[in-house]
Amino acid sequence: MRRLMVALAAMLLATPPAAACPELPVPPATDNAFGELILGATNVNAAVGSGALTATLSRCDELTGLKWPGPSFYDQLAYLSDNAPDARLRSHFGALDSMGAFAGIAYRAAGGRGFTWLRDDDWTHSQRYTSDTSGVVVTEMANAALGLRVTAWHFVLPDRDVLVNHYLLERERRSRVRSATIVFYTNFSPTLTRVAFIPLADWMLDYQNDFAVLYDRREHALLHFLPASARAFPRDFALLNPLLATPPRSRRTLQRRVTALARRLDEAGVYIAVGAAPGDDGYQCGFEDAPLCAHQSSFVDRFVAAAVDPELRPVVRLLFACEGVIRDPAGPLGACRAANAWTYRAESAFTDASDGRLARAPVAACQANAALARRLRFRRGQATATFDIAAGGTREEAYALLRQARAQPADALRAATEAWWADYLAPAHLPDTDDPTVLTFARRALIAARTATDNASGAIVASVATQLPYGYDWVRDGSFINYALDLAGYHDVVSRHNRFYARVQRKEFSPWSVVYSMKCPADPAARHYPDCVPPGTFEMNYFADPTEVVPGAPFSFEIDEAGLGVWTMWDHAQYLTDAAERAAYLADVCPAMERGAANLAACKDPATNLQCPSSEDDFQELTQGLQGAEAVLLALRSGIDAASDCAFDAGEVAGWQARSAELEQAIVAHFLVPGPPAHFEGGRSAWLIWPTGFPAADDPRTLSHAQYLQEAFIDPILARTARGGAYNAESLLARAHLARTLGDAAALGAVQDAVRFFVRELPTFDTHHLGEFYARVDADLNGDGIAPDYVSENDVPHVWEHAYLYAAAMVAFGSR
């Protein structure tokens, strides 16, 4: 997908596992140049959700992402980590202190009063899921100086858009804390902004998002909201202007008018209700006064320097950087105040919390944050508090969800959520091994895939993380995710996913996106390649929209995705044993398979017999590499195999057979290199062995190529000499298939050993998640006494990486 290696000098230092924020004691040995240095460091160690409301959390128990209505869009949280080279060494990965949502404790001790956020460095942090079959995250924190221990559980209810945050505080016998109040801080940024081809609007442009927050005394809840009529930028604050421009002098009158305002919010939009259970002991709605504009503009400066052509940089900065759009020296909030003549003031809830006494300001707007307080009632040294977050398309929907959640004990909701996930995993096929780490990882991979599956559309996003923006469905990723889900037995999920692909597949010759110079004629009869993009192909990726076809990024003709789309549609049919179900599925996807195979067969370079120039692996340039060639060959072979079941025209199929043989010869002529060992040179070369199956398994060229994969992509990880890596399990999976096909027990045993190493050393050591990229760190991160270790970086949890390693384990160990 994305190539991710640039060298950076390593620093040698052995340390115990990191317990405080940030997570790394030393820099990684290699830079994530095509990922985090462009779009920011992924501050995610855990994720919760089951296809609708979706949340991500840092290892230090901060909420770093909140997507609603689904895992694809929109991100409703104000959070922007940094894209500086040292972002992973900074607190919150460089995000501003007031970004995100998290809890803190105000306390009274013998020496006076104090306040501490639970994410601060004077707390230790240990995070995990409550079990291998659970979608509930638990973070255990301790503050030795205060003599306090806190356990936090976070989970999204499977049947409702509610995120539950439940805290158990334990006061040690010698604790100097006499009384305490827990404060739950939120910096949501409600948005309905989604721009086709530009995967930035709902997170990188948060200075344009957000609308308002209020405290509703009738509901005893905060309400962050954005009416749909105010979704455009600059926002229309007519609803709030009378209150904020001429606020009443009396606090009581102000609260009464805010409560009345809440009653009038009857328009659809985004409504995020936050409430303590059963009620709160204080609140604050404040104006966000952090240097958001400077922070975001510096981020954009690094983004354009790394990813934008020099001649376009001034224009891109003018369009996207806060300092290019907002001219007021006081930033977005200052611009709102000036444009709307606001005189009302309210302290930021983040700073207001520092004395533990929230000021009870009932409203804020433009760039707003909020907090709730709940006094802790210690009994036998223990106290609990729960804060529920409910999201809905109307005020009443959000309030109804909040009321339902508050009506049930948090422990009961947690038990029901754990039971739902256990039931979901119960029928899953797992690797046939007793190795507990392999099984733990396998279950977590399947949970990660379910968390990324959009309930409304059936699409599966590459990652639920916001930075990098991978909340889109790539056919490339999805085809291998489908394979893993079929191995696990979730055939209905794959059928629905492939129907999504059939729906979004390009049906006719279409214009290229604006990043290309080609001009596609308006007359459909005059359209052809290369002026236009052929039918049967896909955009780079898609929003998980249930009705519209909305591209997420601007690379128009990813030929490897077009080929993989045909393959996954046919491959999945082999797992459908019910005749009626199989027939209905094929009726839906056979036209898409025919369209894909036919147009890929036709789009060729007559001078070389390779595929026509196109994008490969998310690069804009039009190339003719191995990755595209093998994917086209795979599509042709899949179309040929499907011919009988789909009743394809015999003459057309004969043409695919001829083109397939022609392309096989071209692959050998253009990509086979002598080595040693002799191998096929190009992107994703493991795909030749599997799933393409060319050359034959016992062909000396295949055996030599398999050795090359071992030496280039597996051995350096096993020896810990690789400074970084991505998709190395791709080669594991190919070698596992080859060993199975050849009946090579020794090779299969070697793959099993490699799988054991990969699942122990590459994922997050506590939550068992993989990022797209992993970098070597010269430290002992997982506490096993061995250094260096690897840290998973961007887009944890990365579903394709999970699928690759899960599938490698299934093929290597067998299924049970």
Nearest to 670 by CA among 604, 728, 721, 729: 604
Cα gap 82→286, rounded to integer Å: 24
Cα gap 748→736, rounded to integer Å: 6
Cα gap 266→351, rounded to integer Å: 32
pLDDT-derived band at 791, boundaries 50, 70, 90: very high
Is the pLDDT confidence value at 356 over 90? no
Boundary-marking domain end, from 672, 697, 714: 672
Same domain, 246 and 306: yes
Instruction: Please state the rounded mean pLDDT for residues 636-653.
Output: 99
Q: CA angle at residue 780 from 776 to 781, to 5 degrees? A: 80
Tens digits of residue pLDDT in 189-231: 999 999 999 999 899 999 999 999 999 999 999 999 999 999 9
Same domain, 668 and 679: no
Unique residue bearing structure tokens 């694809």: 72
Q: How far is CA 124 from CA 22, 210, 277, 396, 455, in A?
A: 11, 33, 26, 39, 36
Cα gap 765→801, rounded to integer Å: 16
**Cα 530 to chain centroid, rounded:** 34
CB-based contact 611:599 (threshold 8 Å): no
pLDDT-derived band at 366, boundaries 50, 70, 90: very high
Tens digits of residue pLDDT in 741-786: 999 999 999 999 999 999 999 999 999 999 999 999 999 998 999 9
Same domain, 10 and 67: no
Nearest to 186 by CA among 207, 158, 215: 215
pLDDT given at position 6: 28
Residue 386 three-state SS: strand
pLDDT-derived band at 19, boundaries 50, 70, 90: very low
Task: Please give the structure tokens belonging to residue 16.
Answer: 């115990």
- Number of folded domains that form the chain: 3
CB-based contact 612:555 (threshold 8 Å): no
pLDDT-derived band at 33, boundaries 50, 70, 90: confident
Task: Please give the structure tokens belonging to residue 28.
Answer: 């990684």
Task: Please give the structure tokens belonging to residue 110.
Answer: 């013998």
Instruction: Please state the rounded mean pLDDT for residues 276-288.
Output: 98
pLDDT given at position 580: 98
The chain-wide mean pLDDT, for the chain, equals: 96
Nearest to 215 by CA among 363, 28, 37: 363
Same domain, 449 and 357: no
Same domain, 694 and 770: yes
Is the pLDDT confidence value at 295 over 80? yes
DSSP for 680-719, written as a single string:
E-STTTHHIIIII--S-TTSHHHHHHHHHHIIIIIHHHHT
Instruction: Please state the rounded mean pLDDT for residues 570-597.
Output: 99
Instruction: Please state the rounded mean pLDDT for residues 268-277.
Output: 99
Omega cis (within 30) before 524: no
pLDDT-derived band at 25, boundaries 50, 70, 90: confident
Tens digits of residue pLDDT in 463-491: 999 999 999 999 999 999 999 999 999 99
Same domain, 708 and 657: no
CB-based contact 782:24 (threshold 8 Å): no
Count of residues in the chain: 816
Task: Please give the structure tokens belonging to residue 684.
Answer: 């994703």
Boundary-marking domain end, from 419, 442, 468: 419
Unique residue bearing structure tokens 């539950």: 164
pLDDT given at position 14: 29
Instruction: Please state the rounded mean pLDDT for residues 703-726.
Output: 98
Measured N-to-C along each axis, helices 475-488 and 491-504 cross at an angle, to the nearest 10 degrees, of: 160
pLDDT given at position 717: 98
CB-based contact 399:219 (threshold 8 Å): yes
Instruction: Please state the rounded mean pLDDT for residues 584-601.
Output: 99
**Cα 683 to chain centroid, rounded:** 24
Beta bridge partners of 165: 154, 387
pLDDT given at position 659: 99
Residue 498 three-state SS: helix
Beta bridge partners of 216: 221
Residues 6+ apart with CB under 8 A from 798: 462, 463, 470, 769, 770, 771, 772, 792
Bridge-based pairing state of the strands 124-129 and 137-143: antiparallel
Q: How far is CA 55 from CA 71, 77, 464, 627, 733, in A?
A: 8, 10, 8, 34, 30
Cα gap 266→225, rounded to integer Å: 11
Task: Please give the structure tokens belonging to residue 349.
Answer: 């809830």
Boundary-marking domain end, from 672, 687, 715: 672
Is the pLDDT confidence value at 2 over 70? no
How large a percentage of the chain has pLDDT more than 90? 95
Cα gap 489→132, rounded to integer Å: 18
Same domain, 88 and 233: yes
CB-based contact 630:693 (threshold 8 Å): no
pLDDT given at position 11: 25
Cα gap 548→504, rounded to integer Å: 9
Cα gap 304→306, rounded to integer Å: 5
pLDDT given at position 8: 24
CB-based contact 125:61 (threshold 8 Å): yes
Q: How far apart are the first and last CA of the chain?
A: 31
Q: Report the largest interatomic distance among the alpha carbons of the chain, rounded to a whole angstrom.
A: 89
Is the pLDDT confidence value at 371 over 50? yes
**DSSP H or E stretch at residue 125:** strand 124-129
Same domain, 465 and 566: yes
Cα gap 569→585, rounded to integer Å: 9
Using CA atoms of 255, 161, 497, 479 in order, give the dihedral in degrees to the nearest 10.
Answer: 90
Nearest to 292 by CA among 225, 350, 228, 362: 350
Is the pLDDT confidence value at 168 over 70? yes
pLDDT-derived band at 703, boundaries 50, 70, 90: very high
Residues 6+ apart with CB under 8 A from 784: none
Measured N-to-C along each axis, helices 745-761 and 436-451 cross at an angle, to the nearest 10 degrees, of: 70
Cα gap 693→668, rounded to integer Å: 14
Instruction: Please state the rounded mean pLDDT for residues 299-323.
Output: 93
* Domain at 599, CATH number: 1.50.10.10
Task: Please give the structure tokens belonging to residue 271.
Answer: 């409504």
* Domain at 250, CATH number: 2.70.98.10
Same domain, 346 and 273: yes
Cα gap 21→428, rounded to integer Å: 36
pLDDT given at position 22: 67
Neighbours of 342 (CB within 10 A): 21
Neighbours of 384 (CB within 10 A): 19
Q: What pTM did the predictor assign?
A: 0.96
Nearest to 382 by CA among 131, 175, 108: 175
Same domain, 704 and 748: yes
Same domain, 306 and 214: yes
CB-based contact 125:317 (threshold 8 Å): no
Q: How far is CA 751 from CA 204, 560, 757, 765, in A?
A: 41, 27, 10, 21
Residue 728 three-state SS: coil
Nearest to 753 by CA among 787, 791, 710, 785: 710
Tens digits of residue pLDDT in 35-63: 999 999 999 999 999 999 999 999 999 99
Same domain, 301 and 367: yes
pLDDT given at position 665: 99
Unique residue bearing structure tokens 């190395």: 728
Task: Give the structural domain span for 448.
Answer: 1-34+427-455+674-816
